[in-house]
């Protein structure tokens, strides 16, 4: 016997309440196949998407429910909450105004908004930050709320984007200065100058020995020097160390040891000497516009200067398996703006005037790669 839409919906809601999400989803989708605009099926399917951290997929479902029936308060609450979770605070405020005009309690809906002064922590990318294409689309969604540097003033949902032209993956916006101050107010133990100095010395030596065949003397600039180990060890090998970092405490600590250090974006700095080696160990993916920085560094380097870069490789099989199993830790990394593949990183370095000399696996962090490049 054929059942009605109302009966099917009741079955879906019952399965949903019993946490049988796959069965509920199957029923809701069956309803939408026959009645694509059914508001309850759209809304409830959106709730399932939210429970699976698929906020971007939930938004059009909630919007369809509202477009068909805007007289249900829960529809407004679900839609506004999803907008906030995707950092679309302006759109959420506009939705609250519309709901208020229909007689709903605006104060109740406003409790869904972030309750801190940093309401909009990110400056959106309207184009791909590498190739400037506007052929971009939503990709994976992460949650940074479990990260050491997380603060409630920062929205926890991280919406990643894919560029359809250069195939780069990036977050939907870089942090404002206010948000960065909040994030940098904490300092991870492994970023304190002198952290595990003996153990780190061996790791740094292995890294430096990759560069020496191409450049064995001169100034060594470490961008984002963290605990300072690479600079300490480069000094042992005869290089003149210079550090750049955005954490003021680390810069002060290095200066107190007599090492030149700066607390400014590297593209804003001028150095007395030409730079022989630049290292950016797990740093480039934290920079809003990497190409600008690489071009600036190129102009500050020796004609045969070397560039050493490490970061996670999104082209590795480890990355692919993590992503397939929905457990990729880098989608939740609060400081990361980019997920580079080896192919896209090599292409970017070539665009900025660097030739690749060596590729290797990094032991610093999981899924890491290391590339030694030389200025053309």
Domain boundary among 80, 110, 140: 110
Residues 360 and 370 sit within 8 Å (Cβ to Cβ): yes
Q: What is the structure's pLDDT at 118?
A: 40
Q: Report pLDDT digits (tens) over 185-242.
A: 777 788 889 889 999 999 999 999 999 999 999 999 999 999 999 999 999 999 999 9
Predicted local distance difference test score (pLDDT) of residue 324? 92
What's the pTM? 0.70
364 and 242 assigned to the same domain: yes
Domain count, the chain: 3
Q: Which pLDDT tens digit goes with each residue over 38-76?
A: 999 999 999 999 988 899 899 999 999 999 999 999 999
Q: Please state which of the ranges 107-111, 112-116, 263-267, 352-356 shows the lowest mean pLDDT.
A: 112-116
By CB atoms closer than 10 A (0-12, 13-18, 19+), residue 95 is: buried
Average pLDDT, the chain: 92
184: left (phi > 0), else alpha (psi -120 to 50), else beta? alpha
Collapse the DSSP code of 59 into the 3-class scheme (helix H, G, I; strand E, B; otherwise coil) and give the result. helix
Q: What is the pLDDT of residue 279?
A: 98
Over residues 127-139, mean pLDDT:
96
Encoded tokens for 344: 């896209």
Shared domain for 155 and 209, answered yes or no, is no
Asked if residue 153 and residue 41 are part of one domain, the reply reads no
Once rounded to an integer, what is the mean pLDDT over residues 128-149?
A: 94
Q: What local confidence, expressed as pLDDT, does residue 115 receive?
A: 60
The residues, ordered by sequence, that sit 6+ positions from 87 with a Cβ below 8 Å of its Cβ are: 120, 121, 122, 155, 157, 159, 172, 173
- pLDDT at site 181: 83
Residues 357 and 223 occupy one common structural domain: yes
What CATH code is carried by the domain that includes residue 15?
1.25.40.10
Residues 338-366, mean pLDDT to the nearest whole number: 95
Residues 93-101 have a mean pLDDT of 93
- In the block, which residue shows the tokens 């990497």? 290
State which of 183, 209, 225 marks the end of a domain.
183
Containing structural domain, residue 149: 122-183
- Contact (CB, 8 A) for 251 and 273: no
Residue where the block lists tokens 């600039």: 221
3-state SS assignment for residue 361: strand
Same structural domain, 255 and 350: yes
Q: Does residue 12 form part of some domain?
A: yes
Would you list the DSSP string of 206-243?
Answer: HHHHHHTTT--SSEEEEET-TTSHHHHHHHHTT-EEEE
Q: What is the pLDDT of residue 44?
A: 95
Q: Taking a C-beta distance cutoff of 8 angstroms, is the pair 132, 290 a contact?
A: no
Q: What is the pLDDT of residues 295-329, one digit of tens each?
A: 999 999 999 999 999 999 999 999 999 999 989 99
- Would strands 240-244 and 219-223 be described as parallel, antiparallel, or unpaired? parallel
Share above pLDDT 90 across residues of the chain, in percent, rounded to a whole number: 78
Does the pLDDT of residue 129 top 60, yes or no? yes
Same domain membership, residue 129 and residue 99:
no
Pairing of strands 122-124, 173-175: antiparallel
Cα(7)–Cα(178) distance, integer angstroms: 51
What tokens does 305 get?
A: 């200067």
138: enclosing H helix or E strand:
strand 136-143
Residue 35 has pLDDT above 90, yes or no: yes
- Residues 177, 63, single domain; the answer is no
131 belongs to a structural domain: yes
Residue 115 lies in a domain: no
296-325: string of b/e by CB count within 10 Å (b at 16+)?
ebbebbbeebbbbbbbbbbebeebeebeee
Six token digits for residue 361 = 């696996």
> pLDDT tens, 152-191?
778 888 999 999 999 999 999 999 988 888 887 777 788 8
Q: Are residue 238 and residue 343 in the same domain, yes or no? A: yes
Among 132, 153, 183, the domain-final residue is 183
Alpha-carbon distance of 92 to 88, in angstroms, equals 6
What six digits make up the tokens of 166?
């250069």
Q: Is the domain of 259 the same as that of 160? A: no
**pLDDT number for residue 150:** 87
Asked whether residue 22 falls in the same domain as residue 136, the answer is no
pLDDT value at position 53? Answer: 85
Answer whether residue 40 is part of any domain: yes
């Amino acid at each position: 016997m054929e059942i009605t839409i109302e009966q099917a919906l009741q079955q879906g809601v019952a399965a949903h309440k019993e946490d049988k999400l796959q069965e509920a989803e199957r029923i809701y989708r069956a309803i939408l196949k026959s009645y694509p605009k059914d508001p309850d099926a759209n809304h409830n399917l959106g709730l399932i998407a939210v429970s699976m951290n698929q906020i971007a997929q939930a938004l059009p479902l909630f919007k369809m429910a509202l477009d068909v029936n805007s007289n249900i308060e829960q529809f407004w609450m679900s839609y506004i909450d999803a907008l906030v979770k995707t950092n679309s605070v302006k759109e959420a405020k506009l939705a609250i105004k519309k709901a208020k005009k229909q007689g709903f309690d605006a104060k109740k809906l406003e409790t869904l908004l972030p309750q801190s002064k940093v309401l909009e922590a990110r400056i959106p990318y309207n184009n791909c930050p590498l190739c400037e294409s506007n052929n971009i689309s939503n990709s994976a969604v992460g949650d940074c709320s479990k990260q050491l540097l997380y603060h409630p003033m920062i929205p926890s949902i991280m919406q990643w984007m894919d560029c359809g032209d250069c195939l780069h993956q990036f977050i939907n916006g870089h942090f404002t200065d206010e948000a960065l101050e909040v994030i940098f107010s904490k300092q991870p133990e492994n970023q304190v100058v002198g952290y595990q100095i003996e153990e780190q010395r061996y790791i740094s030596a292995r890294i430096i020995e990759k560069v020496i065949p191409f450049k064995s003397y001169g100034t060594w600039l470490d961008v984002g020097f963290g605990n300072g180990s690479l600079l300490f060890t480069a000094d042992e090998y005869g290089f003149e160390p210079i550090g750049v970092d955005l954490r003021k405490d680390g810069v002060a600590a290095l200066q107190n040891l007599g090492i030149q250090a700066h607390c400014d974006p590297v593209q804003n700095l001028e150095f007395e000497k030409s730079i022989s080696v630049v290292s950016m160990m797990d740093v480039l993916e934290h920079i809003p516009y990497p190409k600008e920085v690489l071009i600036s560094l190129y102009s500050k380097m020796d004609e045969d200067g070397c560039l050493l870069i490490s970061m996670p490789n999104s082209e590795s099989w480890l990355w692919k398996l993590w992503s397939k199993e929905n457990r990729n830790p880098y989608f939740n990394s609060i400081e990361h703006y980019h997920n580079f593949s080896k192919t896209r990183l090599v292409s970017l370095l070539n665009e900025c005037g660097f030739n690749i000399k060596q590729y290797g696996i990094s032991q610093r962090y999981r899924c890491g790669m290391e590339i030694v490049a030389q200025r053309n």
